[in-house]
Structure 1
Amino acid sequence: MSTATVPVLTDLLPASRVKDAALVMGGTALVALASQIVIPLGFTPVPLSLATLAVLLVGSALGPLRGALSLGLYLALGTVGVPVFAGFSSGTASASFGYVIGYLVAAVAVGALARRAADRRVLSTFAAAVVGSGLIYAVGVPWLMISLGLGLSEGLVLGVVPFLVGDALKALAASALLLATWKVIGTRR
């Protein structure tokens, strides 16, 4: 993986503050919409949603700064009561709120990796998506454990294990979409 910074997908659009604002708000809207595609699991308070896929795409396509602003806006809106979180929920009282904080961390990380061209090759794109998903777990599971008074093994059973296959599929989907977009752009440039 290169250590030099390179353009992310949205850097290829003409530069302007209006564009940046639209991208940030568009990323927020994408995550908010994907958060509503939910499959509730009766045995855990953490729902299965497409938000993780959207976070990986937004972070990679927007880069670390715009990705942070986009997910920061999503977090702020939900925190003040706008129903943008999974199942049209909001607020900080949920046992799954830590995952939302993890979205912000993941968007910055995958955006930083995309700035180093990690979104240009199959293995590094998938690895970046796995890193992003792992960061979401790293923040979400401790919040879940504290919220519900769980130990580590219970936290993993409720907050990680049921989501591993789905998150692997979302990482593959994000990788495929990013790589396909770069391929299309490469053939048109």
Structure 2
Amino acid sequence: MLGHCADDLVVYHPGLQYSGGCVCGDCSDNAGSPPHESIRRKAQRNAGGNRARTGSRQVLRWVHVIDLEDNQMSKVASPALGTTQVRALDFTRQVAIVVGASMFVALCARITLPLPFTPVPLTLQNFGVLLVGLMLGSRRGFAVLALYLAEGAAGLPVFNPTGPGGIAQLMGPTGGFLMVYPLVAGLAGWIMEHGQKSFARAAVAGLLADLVLFAGGLSWLAILTHSLAQAVRLGFYWFIFAEVIKVMAAAAVAVRLRRAPRVQS
């Protein structure tokens, strides 16, 4: 005999004493269910448990995959973040070095001895320019003195105190010396970079850079005085001995500082 229970087919066996059972296993009337119905319900429960365990394992696999992806992203992001931080710190350090070196040149410019027979004073400024170039190299040396000129042109008290300061000092008798300072430091640094860091090389670099210094300074003086002989008399003869001493001193200090052991941080 056939019957229906909750839209499921129910089979009645005439030879057994039970009132019927439902295939779905959800009916409350299970007392008279045949043995195969109990087996069927148990199989359904086992199937449900298997599906739950399979789902749990799938979720665990998904979590594991997501965790691996996060780890890979962290490994990729960490070096990039570290590289960015290192670059930022290095840039900050380089800026601090350039600014500090420009202040050092400004301090050297304060040590000035005016001479009554020439508008060009005797100053330690040239020593500072040469030392910066020999120590920091061509690019940073050029940057330091370019910044120094910008500071002076802006009106900061970085030039020697015998002049009017600012743009007026750049246009005055010492303007030619000032305007070639970046080239002087850059040349000294470039020569020092391409060879052994010895006193002889540093001295040669300083002497060649000083030639550029006097070429620029005397050319500007010649324009102002309309006489090359007058420019040489005012801006060269009185400074030869002092410049040789400054070149040798800058070379000795630069080599000594370069060879000094650095403190490991």
Query: TM-score, structure 1 length as denominator?
Result: 0.85
Tell me the number of residue pairs that the alignment of Structure 1 and Structure 2 aligns.
171
Tell whether 2:173 aligns with 1:95: yes
Task: Give the match's secondary structure for 1:111.
Answer: helix
- Cα displacement string for residues 90-114 of structure 1 (whole angstroms, at most 9, x for unaligned residues): 3223111110112111011011112
Instruction: Give the fraction of aligned pairs with identical amino acids, expressed as a percent.
Output: 31
Q: Distance in 2 between matches of 1:137 and 1:177?
A: 22
How far apart are residue 80 of structure 1 and its match? 2.4
Q: Distance in 2 between matches of 1:108 and 1:163?
A: 22
Alignment partner, residue 19 of structure 1: 93
For residues 151-170 of structure 1, what are the structure 2 equivalents within 5 Å?
151-170=227-246
For residues 20-59 of structure 1, what are the structure 2 equivalents within 5 Å?
20-59=94-133
Q: Distance in 2 between matches of 1:27 and 1:95?
A: 25
Alignment partner, residue 143 of structure 2: 69
How far apart are residue 40 of structure 1 and its match? 0.4
Q: Distance in 2 between matches of 1:90 and 1:130?
A: 28
Identify which of 194, 200, 203 aligns with 1:126: 203
Q: Distance in 1 between matches of 2:173 and 2:145?
A: 19
Task: Give the match's secondary structure for 1:42.
Answer: coil
Alignment partner, residue 182 of structure 2: 104
Residue type at the aligned position of 1:60: L
How far apart are residue 83 of structure 1 and its match? 2.1
How far apart are residue 78 of structure 1 and its match? 1.1
- Cα displacement string for residues 105-139 of structure 1 (whole angstroms, at most 9, x for unaligned residues): 10110111121135x22221111111111111011
How far apart are residue 75 of structure 1 and its match? 0.7
Alignment partner, residue 12 of structure 1: none
Task: Give the match's secondary structure for 2:101.
Answer: helix
Asked if 2 retains the 8 angstrom alpha-carbon contact of 1:74 and 1:84, the reply is yes
Higher relative contact order (CA 8 A, sep 6+): 1
Tell whether 2:156 aligns with 1:82: yes
Structure number with greater Rg is 2
Alignment partner, residue 174 of structure 1: 250
Q: Distance in 2 between matches of 1:20 and 1:130?
A: 27
Task: Give the match's secondary structure for 2:260.
Answer: helix
Alignment partner, residue 116 of structure 1: 194
> Which runs of no fewer than 5 residues in structure 2 stay unpaired?
1-88
Q: Distance in 2 between matches of 1:77 and 1:93?
A: 15
